[in-house]
Chains A and B, each alone.
Chain A
Amino acid sequence: MVPLTHYLLLSGILFVCGVLGFLIKRNIITIFMSIELMLNGVNLSFVAFAAHWHALSGQIFVFFVMVVAAAEAAVGLAIIIAVYRTRETLNVDQVNLLKL
Chain B
Amino acid sequence: MLHLILFLFFGAICVAGAVNLLAQSHPIDSALSLVVVMVSLAAEYLLLGAEFVAAIQVIVYAGAIMVLFIFTIMLLNAGAEERTKGSRVAIVLGVPGVVTGAVLVAWTLVHRVNSIQTVSIGALPGDPRDIAWLLFHDFLLPFEVTSVLILIAILGAVVLASRPDAVARRHHDHEAAKPLPELVGAGKER
Contacts and interface: CB of A to CB of B under 8 A. Distances in A.
A binds B: yes
Interface of A: 1-10, 12-14, 16-21, 23-27, 29-30, 32-34, 36-37, 40, 43-44, 47-48, 50-52, 54, 56-57, 59-60, 62-64, 66-75, 77-82, 84-85, 90-91, 93-94
B93 to A, nearest CB: 9
Nearest to A46: B53
A9 B106 contact: yes
Contact of A5 (B60, B73, B113, B130): B113
Interface of B: 3-4, 7, 11, 14-15, 18-19, 21-22, 27, 30-31, 34, 37-38, 41, 44-45, 48-50, 52-53, 56-57, 60-61, 64-65, 68-69, 72-73, 75-76, 78, 81-82, 84-87, 90-91, 94-95, 98-99, 102, 105-106, 109-110, 113, 115-121, 123-124, 126, 130-131, 134-135, 138-139, 142, 146, 149-150, 152-154, 156-161, 163
Contacts of B75: 81
A71 B152 CA distance: 8
A37 B61 contact: no
A20 B15 CA distance: 13
B84 A26 contact: yes
B124 to A, nearest CB: 4
Contact of B161 (A13, A34, A78, A91): A78
13 contacts: A9-B109, A9-B110, A25-B81, A29-B31, A30-B21, A56-B130, A70-B61, A71-B150, A71-B153, A77-B157, A78-B156, A82-B160, A91-B84
A71 B115 CA distance: 38
Contacts, number: 242
B76 A94 contact: no
A66 B60 contact: yes
A36 B65 CA distance: 9
